[in-house]
Copies of this chain bind each other. A is one copy, B any other.
Amino acid sequence: MSLLAKKRSAAMAAKLKDSGLKATPQRLAIMRVLAESKGHPSVDDIYRRLQRRFPGISPATVYRNIMLIKSLGEAVEISLAGSASRYDGRKPYPHPHIVCVECGNILDPELASLGDMTREVTAASGFEIKSFRLDFFGVCPACRKKSGS
């Protein structure tokens, strides 16, 4: 387990305790998967990954806990049109994504030119901005090679 994963896992568990919620094995395992996954897993990904260790686990439990972890501010949801949402427990704050429309992979790009966009929008609209989402859709290098584009 990487250093970041340990850190994120610990942060999530701490938030749990602070909120007076129970440290269920399933719940902790879901947190660990979120903390370790670099690839933005879906609920079903997490569900299938946990079936080895929890043969009787229910998808409902994964949904419930993802919802909880989100509400604790310890994961972000990437909602996509026409397919299941994906989650990021390693960067639990709004950040841009690149989605490959061929294979479904999702990456976290580094994006320098992003800073004062929120400020600009706030000033122009009078909205109180709570969050944002910035997603790019395209074809990843591997899929470009395959389709010969």
Residues of A within 8 A of B (CB): 77, 79-82, 85, 96, 98, 100-101, 107, 109-114, 116-118, 120-122, 124-141, 144, 149
Q: Which residues of B contact A120 (CB under 8 A)?
A: 111-113
**Do the beta carbons of A138 and B130 come within 8 Å of each other?**
yes
**Do the beta carbons of A138 and B128 come within 8 Å of each other?**
yes
Distance from A112 Cβ to chain B, minimum over Cβ atoms (Å)? 7
**Do the beta carbons of A140 and B127 come within 8 Å of each other?**
yes
**Do the beta carbons of B128 and A137 come within 8 Å of each other?**
no
CA distance A134 to B137 in the complex (A): 11
Distance from A94 Cβ to chain B, minimum over Cβ atoms (Å)? 9
Q: Which residue of B lies closest to A117 (CB)?
A: B113
**Do the beta carbons of B117 and A111 come within 8 Å of each other?**
yes
Q: Which residue of B lies closest to A114 (CB)?
A: B117
Distance from A58 Cβ to chain B, minimum over Cβ atoms (Å)? 21
- Among B109, B129, B132, which residue has its beta carbon within 8 angstroms of that of A121? B109
